[in-house]
Amino acid sequence: MPASQPQAATAAAQDSEGRRLVRKTAVELVVDEVRARILSGECAPGSPLRQEALAEELGVSRIPLREAMRLLSSEGLVDLIPHRGSFVSMLSTEEVQEFFDLRLRLEPWLFRQASTQLTEAELQAATSLVDRMDSASASEWGPLNWQLHGLLYGGARRPAAVNLVRTLHEKSERYFRFQAVNADIRQQSRQEHLELIALCRQRQPDLAEQAMERHIADAAGHILQIVRRYLDAPGAAA
């Protein structure tokens, strides 16, 4: 990380036009930075997060760093092991299966309700997101995927359910990276996304629900297969 970055902990940020933005606390800055490293794969599953070195690198004291580790643990990204320290949580097929089981119960239902309510402007915005995903990096792909799904579910007018699904997507983000680095899976996902948008235009709620169920089930199958290969590789659990 650039040496100047920790200064953000003590100064309000500005946008490109010089307007003051909301100040982030030292804890929030550490959470954002370490989370980004975990989700991008820079910090590998099972690797130690050495608090003394992180505190020095990020320009913060040990107190906000410990609180940041606690928050990341609550997100399932960090394991706090007594007398040993903080470690990046291991990948888990059980976790993947649970996340996608929940998604399969919520998202097809949400999409069915939203599919007949989305405006043409919203569907055009959804298509633009699909196009942006084509050139997105692996770290950008997951957040764009949620923007797309969140937009498609917005028409359901079920904010509590959408927030639950958003949380599942956020917790799944490091698994989405396995999709994002595979060109064939990305292309399949693109075609499925365009199909979902087309079914909204056609006002076909039954077919839309079925297509979303297939879309999520396909993603689960791809990710589970890749995670199993990763965990079976020599040294993966070291």
Same domain as 117, residue 183 = yes
Same domain as 124, residue 82 = no
* pLDDT tens-digit map of 25-43: 999 999 999 988 888 788 9
Residues of the chain with pLDDT below 50 are 1-13, 15-17, 19-21, 238
Same domain as 218, residue 104 = yes
CATH, residue 32: 1.10.10.10
Q: Which residues span the domain enclosing 180? A: 93-232
How far is CA 29 from each of CA 39, 62, 125, 188, rounded to the nearest angstrom? 15, 13, 31, 36
CATH, residue 226: 1.20.120.530
Decide: 31 and 42 in contact? Cβ < 8 Å: no
Coarse DSSP helix, strand, coil percentages of the chain, rounded to the nearest 5 percent = 70, 5, 25
Same domain as 222, residue 165 = yes
Residue 28, strand partner residues: none
Domain tally for the chain? 2
DSSP-assigned letter for residue 10: T
pLDDT at 233: 79
Asked if the structure places residue 237 within a domain, the reply is: no
Same domain as 104, residue 22 = no
pLDDT at 236: 61
Instruction: Quote the pTM value.
Output: 0.78
* pLDDT tens-digit map of 201-236: 999 999 999 999 999 999 999 999 999 998 887 766
Same domain as 117, residue 36 = no
Domain boundary among 29, 64, 88: 88
* pLDDT tens-digit map of 153-165: 999 999 999 999 9
